[in-house]
Amino acid sequence: MGRGRAKAKQAKVARQLKYSAARTDLEALRRELLGAGADASKRADDHDEFEDYADYLDADDDGGEELDDLPDHRSPGPS
């Protein structure tokens, strides 16, 4: 109960969107989609996201542990 007014408003808005002859400003949409986003993505490509952390790695370290060096935590199964 109490949903009638909200449902009627949604139906009214949907009808307006469906039948209105509003023109979409495609140039404004194009500027919005390509404007700042194109420059930001170009700048993001120039910067390696892990570059700041490269100094923390040793020269001979590949950044991960060998699987053989890790302890085996598997519990023995039922016999």
Residue 26 resides in a domain: yes
pLDDT beyond 80 at 3: yes
Task: Compute how many other C-beta atoms are within 10 angstroms of the C-beta atom of residue 35.
Answer: 11
pLDDT-derived band at 60 (thresholds 50, 70, 90) equals: low
pLDDT-derived band at 61 (thresholds 50, 70, 90) equals: low
Q: Which two tokens stand for residue 3?
A: 């949903």
**Tokens 């140039």, residue located:** 27
Residues 6+ apart with CB under 8 A from 57: 63
Q: Give how many domains the chain has, as a whole number.
A: 1
Residue 14 resides in a domain: no
Using a pLDDT cut of 90, give the percent of the chain over it.
Answer: 22
In order, the DSSP letters of 46-66 are HS-TTGGGGGGS-TT--SS--
Distance in angstroms between the alpha carbons of the first and the last residue of the chain? 61
Domain that holds residue 30: 22-47
15-45 pLDDT per residue, tens: 988 888 778 888 998 999 998 655 555 555 6
Residue 3 resides in a domain: no
Residue 69 resides in a domain: no
pLDDT beyond 70 at 67: no
